[in-house]
Copies of this chain bind each other. A is one copy, B any other.
């Protein structure tokens, strides 16, 4: 038999299996309350309307919607996406190009491939979106971790960190941020820091990746926060969006809005990665945009998630042991909780699963090994009853662990 192990490329060997996935794979098929994923609540999917749209786009435009399509995406759909984000206050410049990607994960991958050389430094929030961390790591990035508070990334500390990095001979390439309804903490970067961030990017000639899956789900204000892309005057900001949270993740549609010079590389990379994204999915989302289904889904999901957020906060207030800390999520799908004492949430996860509940250990959201006493809880997917019961089980376990220690 073939010794495959010796044939695996050195690139692929650097891919480490995620410990969470390993543990969570144990939960498959079991009756476990999962607060681990980042899934939309299926009750917000506009099933009937999408069923009708799918039927129509195949019947009426099947010659095109079932056919191959351009690498950057279906032109009309790209225009609709541009109109949509513009209507949400995101500035699209004349030189910007909309690229449709197979989920925003692919946009991260294509940007990583296009921009990151091994050893390049990337400024991130600590904690940050774990899949972005893993993707950039694959391309050999180093990370500069900037702490956050209720007002988002502590942008005022970036400049010192950049200076240190430059002194250490590092090439600081870009800032990656989820400024609005941050994953995993649900905080929102305040306007002053947004301006500061653009200033520091200008001053140090840095690129900025603004990842924006959650700005449609801000719960306590009708205000929309100004996007970094809109504040940018020097074409530094590349903007990532997704249909996963505002329509359906099963369509697997994300988008990248970025200056043509970057997109040139992204397009060449996408040609060899997957040639193009599902044409049919693009047609479905295009008509969901045109016919207001995306707008309705956002409105509905925002209400549903706000209720669930309130249930979560209520459950946390009831059950969390004293000394725990978290920010009440202002938006998004998650809360991030620091537990008191020396609890290790990674080793605790196995026990939680035995009690029928799963979460993501905090360590996975940091590049520097911190967060071992933290955990992320998702509130968009579970039912209200399961959410409350899941939180109760986790907190009960945490209290026992504290007492043992």
Closest B residue to A15 using CB positions? B268
A66–B52 touching, CB < 8 Å: no
**Per-residue interface assignment for chain A, residues 54 to 70, with 1 indicating a CB less than 8 Å from any chain B CB and 0 otherwise:** 11101100111111110
Does any Cβ of B come within 8 Å of A305's Cβ?
no
Contact with B along A198-226 (1 / 0, CB 8 A): 00000001010000000000000000000
In contact, A278 and B265 (Cβ under 8 angstroms): no
- Contact status B59-A102, CB under 8 Å: no
Complex partner residue of A50 from B62, B63, B248, B275, CB under 8 angstroms: B62
Complex Cα distance, B261 from A201, in Å, reads 44
* B residues in contact with A134, CB < 8 Å: 271-272
- For residue A313, give the distance in angstroms from its CB to the closest CB of chain B: 25
A274 touches B102 (CB 8 A): yes
Mask of A118-129 contacts with B, CB within 8 angstroms, 1/0: 000000000000
A404 contacts the other chain (CB 8 A):
no
Q: Are A252 and B234 in contact (CB under 8 A)?
A: no
CB proximity to B under 8 Å, residues A1-29 = 1-2, 4-5, 7-12, 15-18, 21
Q: Tell me whether A259 and B115 are in contact in the complex, defined as CB-CB below 8 angstroms, given that A9-B139, A244-B68, A249-B68 are known contacts.
A: no
Min C-beta distance of A20 to chain B, whole Å? 11
CB-based contact B4/A262 at 8 Å: yes
Q: A251-B278, A273-B273, A278-B251 are in contact. Are A58 and B68 (CB under 8 A)?
A: no
Which of A8, A9, A269: most chain B CB closer than 10 A? Answer: A9
Sample of 18 further A-B pairs with CB below 8 A, known A8-B115, A67-B248, A252-B277:
A2-B207, A2-B236, A9-B115, A42-B63, A45-B62, A54-B55, A65-B250, A67-B250, A103-B275, A105-B273, A108-B272, A131-B272, A249-B279, A250-B279, A252-B276, A273-B274, A278-B278, A280-B280
